[in-house]
Amino acid sequence: MHFLTTILVLVLGSLPSLAEGTPLSSITPTETAPASPTTMYRGIIEVLTTNPNEHFGYIGGLEYVSLIGGPQVIALQSNESLAGTFTFQAPSGATAVSQVDLESTTPLGGYPVLGLIEGSRTNNNNLEPGSSNYVNLGGTLRSAPGATAQTGPNSYAIRFYAYQSSVWSINISTGDMVSLWVNKNNNAGLGMDLFAWKYTSTFMMGTGDFEAFKTRYPNGGRRSTSVKLRFLPRP
């Protein structure tokens, strides 16, 4: 009996403090690290020609491509008062962000963010050098950063075209913007060539190779101007 008592004392002595009557309220819970602070930026998007570097207009709201109805895509506006207002989030203190959503303060055809939507004559979801494939700027649902194109409803309303939304890289210091489309091989590649296409209005489009686009669509190429974007902060 003395031997068993000795063993019992040794075992109880090795148990954690709860065996000695420590109340649960005295245990310190594991703390979760606080989320990093973020800053919301609000502004409009200026459109500039690439050569020479001159003001060309502002990203506006959706308009129909044809006078008899059809897909709704982003049109340019010459007056700043008609420019669309967009917001994005960035870590506080950051000088640049990549693969972010641009949320419209006025839903674009019922869709929350400014995204890229495959063109009706695009034969796959890849934008790359040597290809005439193109996309339109329009209203989309959100897609995950780095994700390939997903098919679903968007403002290009003829049918469910593929789209991506987290495509915008922004230099917060200068406002310069680049759009990156993720191809099927998960290769984001270089910033695409953006251009403004003059039709019933001037619409915003993009391609992996502007020269290839103009060769494939000579009439559209004659109506198009190579452009770039700049985010301008506004209250």
Residue with tokens 């609000």: 42
Q: Is residue 117 classed as helix, strand or coil in its secondary structure?
A: strand
pLDDT tens column, 159-210 = 678 999 999 999 999 999 999 999 987 666 556 899 999 887 899 999 999 9
Give the pLDDT band of residue 15 (cuts 50, 70, 90).
Answer: very low
Q: Residue 196's beta-bridge partner residues?
A: 204, 225
- pTM (two decimals): 0.82
Rg of the Cα trace of the chain? Answer: 27
How far the first Cα of the chain sits from its last, in Å, is 83
Q: Is residue 105 classed as helix, strand or coil in its secondary structure?
A: strand
CA distance 101 to 206: 17
pLDDT tens column, 69-110 = 567 889 899 999 999 999 999 999 999 999 999 999 988 988
Q: What angle do CA 50, 101, 182 make, to 5 degrees?
A: 70
